[in-house]
Amino acid sequence: MAEKKIPLTREQLEALTERFPTPFHIYDETGIRENARRLKVAFAWNPGFKEYFAVKAAPNPYLMKILKSEGFGSDCSSFGELLLSEKVGVVGEDIIFTSNDTPAYEYAKAKELGAIINLDDISHIQYLEDHVGLPELVCCRYNPGPLKAGNAIIGHPEEAKYGFTREQLFEGYRILRDKGIKRFGLHTMVASNELDVTYFLETAQMLFDLVGELTAELGIEFEFVNLGGGIGIPYKPEDEAVDLAALGEGVRKLYEELIIGRGITPLDIRLECGRMITGPYGYLVGRVLHKKHTYKQYVGLDACMANLMRPGMYGAYHHITVAGKENEPSDFVCDVTGSLCENNDKFAIDRAIPQVDVDDLVVIHDAGAHGHSMGFNYNAKLRSAELLLREDGDVIQIRRAETIEDHFATLDLDGLKSFGV
Q: Which of 76, 139, 334, 341 is catalytic?
A: 341
Question: Which distant-in-sequence residues (6+ apart) come within 8 Å of 278 by Cβ?
Answer: 27, 32, 57, 58, 63, 368, 369
CA distance 99 to 120: 7
CA distance 267 to 185: 9
What count of other Cβ atoms lies within 10 Å of the Cβ of residue 245? 12
CA dihedral 52, 55, 56, 59 (to 10 degrees): 160
Report the largest interatomic distance among the alpha carbons of the chain, rounded to a whole angstrom: 76
φ, ψ for residue 212, nearest 5 deg? -60, -45
* DSSP SS3 for 371: coil
Is 341 designated active site?
Answer: yes
The residues pairing with 352 across neighbouring beta strands, listed in sequence order, are: 333
Beta strands in 18-174 (DSSP E): 24-28, 50-54, 73-76, 95-98, 116-119, 137-142
Return the percent helix, strand and coil in the chain, to nearest 5. Answer: 35, 25, 40
Q: Using omega within 30 degrees of 0 as the cis cutoff, is the peptide bond preceding 23 cis?
A: yes
CA 206 from chain centre, in angstroms, equals 23
CA distance 72 to 185: 18
From residue 284, how far is each of 43, 77, 254, 319, 348 by CA, in Å?
A: 31, 25, 39, 11, 14
Catalytic site positions = 341
